[in-house]
Structure 1
Amino acid sequence: MWLRRLASAAARSMQQKKVVVTSQAFDETYKVLTSAGLHVVKNQRTEPWSRDELISHACDAHAILAFMTDCCDRTLLDACPNLELIACALKGFDNFDIDLCAERGVAVTAVPDLLTVPTAELAVLLALGLGRRIREADHVVRSGAFKGWMPTLYGSGLAGAVIGIYGAGAVGRAVAERLKGFVPARLLYADPIALHESTTNNSNVTMDLANNLDDLLKACDLVFICTPLNPSTYHAINSENLSGAKPGMQLINISRGSCVDEVAVADALESGHLAGYAADVFEFEDWILNDKPDSIEARLLSHPKTLFSPHLGSAVTSARRDIEHAAAEEIIRWKKGEQFLYRVN
């Protein structure tokens, strides 16, 4: 009897399209997929699979629901000859070789509109926390040293500051909209494409275009890095333009770690030229880069004028649920032979 059941289950599995979910996901995400008759293999750990584990699960898969810890390169595609779709539960798809995927006939989708608000909120949180020295302040209270008010831990605020946005896409504009309530003296931005007048009018935020990134760094008290990672933005923040930045500038990175040279940032902090660095993203996360570092620059971790979060830009429960659902719906469209909403290749 059990042999017949096993054979029946194997036969059903052969008739189903196999989908691999590479990270722990919401139950609702799995239900969307399984209710469509898909055979779902899922990672039930919070830790990502190793590359070998991913390949062992995905080698016969037809679709992958991928997350930030994943990287799609030639090795993965060679190991997964049946693969037709990678549905990414993320916005920035720079860890996925979309051109090679297109060449192999593998569609790649992303969810660009669902991470903007929580990421912009976190950007402002990091800026406030860095300027108001919240990391040091929290330590004073927890250590037992706090005995009442003292004239110490003075920091900086956003009101009256000249603030720069590097990258005026959806996230950059959302950050600017949230900064408006803090009444900065001026908002500047640097982007290869100038914002259309209708875009600035719709957002109710006025931003002035800087001539280039170097000029933005020279003019601003605080700069938010909001640009995607591509060949032109790799190490866009580097030792050369940091040396010419406004003395005492603070830097907030919520885009991709490799948009900055972390070694150069550490040097600028140690020299005192840079007053602070906050980040939610780090160079070692950019898996697609062959020469990426293995870990965060140690001097950044030990420096008192830094503030970090572990890639929490979209880590709002409702947002993460919606992101996964959107990626799962792309898989359903693929199964039904329908057109994708957010294909990127």
Structure 2
Amino acid sequence: MPVKPKILATNPVFPETQALLEAYATVEVNPSVEPWDYHEVRRRCRDAVGLLAFMTDRIDADFLAACPDLRVIGAALKGFDNIDLHAATGAGVWVTIVPDLLTVPTAELAIGLMLSLGRNIVTGDRNIRANGFHGWRAQLYGAGLAGATVGIVGFGLVGRAIAERLAGFQCRLLACDQSVSATTAEAWPYVTMTSFENVIASSDYVVLALPLIASTMHIVNAETLAAMKRGARLVNPARGSLVDESAVADAISRGQLAGYAADAFECEDWALENRPSGIDRRLLDLSAPTVFTPHIGSAVTDVRREIELSAARSILDVLAGRVPFGAVNDPGKRMAHAQSAAR
């Protein structure tokens, strides 16, 4: 009886995901919500042909060299900045993502962060739990969305989903994205497409909806924050290192920024060698409004289940010799080119 290939899942998965994979492979799953570190994942992946990867994983050239049997990385992710795509392609390893299932829940959370930040929802909850409630008091006055100018930095799927959900809040919507064509912009008549500089300078709320690439690293920095409208609020449901957290703490401390809400943090961007070990302590200690959630942008049960299943199906596509859904590289073309050049 032939031995089944091995697939490694680096985090807990739904029973449906495990059952789907086990019909074709031997599956090893991390049973703990605490992720394996880089070296443990690499050790366990040495004899695997497929890897079901998550946000906590870092895949680089050294990792791939240690896993010679690996054929496919099915990432249960939309962003893939934690995977060295060039190294994977050179090693003949497919990389797949889940391009759209995370869009709606991330946009919903972005709206929740905006409302929580502007209306002091989290602060009010903490006050009641700590001090009890004795009736209305003239306190915790904040800022609503009606009449506000909201700037969305990045107008891909997530940015557009945020705009769509904000359309009913009677706010003025600005957006910037150099890759958006005039034709695409025309499909969003209630959104004014403008420059990054104008979005930053004009907005009461600035919402980030960008991938983390070299050009967006610390796109919000001390200079950016100084150019923002005094008293504006910043919301980051995307990637931590889009923001220089130290600069944000400085801007809040001096009153330039009225508040900051985030679902992602610099310490999570595993592929960056100089990433901090945790959230800037000053952000956690600030008395000014801040709202932080533990990267739950896609944490809707049905959505997370389908994200895993989509990534798992992509792994099985490769094992069956098919081009996988959600592929962001094509190692077959790279290998064919190398073979042709060697002739």
Bucket of the pairwise TM-score, normalised by the shorter protein: over 0.9
Q: Quick one: which amino acid aligns to residue 290 of structure 2? A: T
Cα offset, 1:215, TM superposition: 2.0
Question: Which of the numbers 40, 43, 65 marks the counterpart of 2:27?
Answer: 40
Q: 1: distance between equivalents of 2:114 and 2:276?
A: 25
What SS does structure 2 have at the residue aligned with 1:237? coil
1:302 is displaced (CA, Å) by: 1.2
Q: What is the CA deviation profile of residues 33-82 of structure 1, one whole-angstrom value per residue up to 9, with x for unaligned ones?
A: 011x2111111111101222212211111110001101101221121111
Q: Which residue of 2 aligns with 1:5?
A: none
* Residue number in structure 1 paired with 2:52: 65
Aligned with residue 323 of structure 1, among 302, 307, 311? 307
The answer to whether the 8 A contact 1:177-1:205 is kept is no
Distance in 1 (CA, whole Å) between partners of 2:168 and 2:223 is 33
How far off is 1:195 after superposition?
4.1
SS at match of 2:198: helix
- Quick one: which of 3, 16, 20 aligns to 1:28? 16
2:149 is matched by which residue type in structure 1?
V
Deviations 1:233-278 (A, max 9, x none): 0000000121111000100001100011111111100010000000
Normalised TM-score (structure 1): 0.93
Tell me which residue corresponds to 1:313: 297
Moved more, 162-171 or 214-223: 214-223
Q: Paired residue for 1:121, among 102, 105, 108?
A: 108
Please point out which of 184, 190, 193 is paired with 2:176: 190
Q: What is aligned with 1:100?
A: 87
Give the AA of the match of 1:259.
L
Aligned-pair CA distance for 1:289 = 0.7
Q: CA deviation at 1:199?
A: 5.6
8 Å CA contact 2:48–2:69 kept in 1: the answer is: yes
Alignment partners' CA distance in 2, 1:46 and 1:200: 44
1:94 to partner: Cα distance: 0.6
- 2-side partners of 1:41 and 1:329: how far apart? 16
Aligned with 2:212: secondary structure? coil
Structure 2 unaligned spans of 5+: 330-343
Q: Name the TM-score, length of structure 2 as normaliser.
A: 0.93
Cα distance between partner residues in 1 of 2:120 and 2:59: 39
- Distance in 2 of aligned mates of 1:235 and 1:49: 28
Q: Deviations over 1:110-139 (max 9, x none)?
A: 001100000000000000000001121001
Q: Name the amino acid aligned to 1:81.
A: P
1:296 to 258, 261, 279: 279
Q: 1:336 to 1:199 in 2, by over 3 A?
A: farther
Matched position secondary structure for 2:219: coil
Comparing 69-78 with 164-173, which one deviates more in the overlay?
Answer: 69-78
**Contact 1:281–1:310 (8 Å) recurs in 2:** yes
Residues 95-174 of structure 1: matches in 2 within 5 Å? 95-174=82-161
SS in 2 for 1:171: helix
1:263 aligns with one of 223, 243, 246: 246
Deviation at 1:197, TM superposition (A): 3.0
1:168 and 1:195 in contact (8 A); partners too: no
Question: How far apart, CA to CA, are the structure 1 residues paired with 2:189 and 2:160?
Answer: 8
Q: Output the amino acid matched with 1:149.
A: W
**Residue matched to 2:76:** 89
Quote how far apart the aligned CAs of 1:198 are.
4.5
Equivalent position to 1:344, from 322, 328, 333: 328
Residues in 2 aligned to 1:31 and 1:145: alpha-carbon distance in whole angstroms? 48
How do residues 280-295 of structure 1 correspond to structure 2 at under 5 angstroms? 280-295=263-278
Length, aligned pairs only: 328
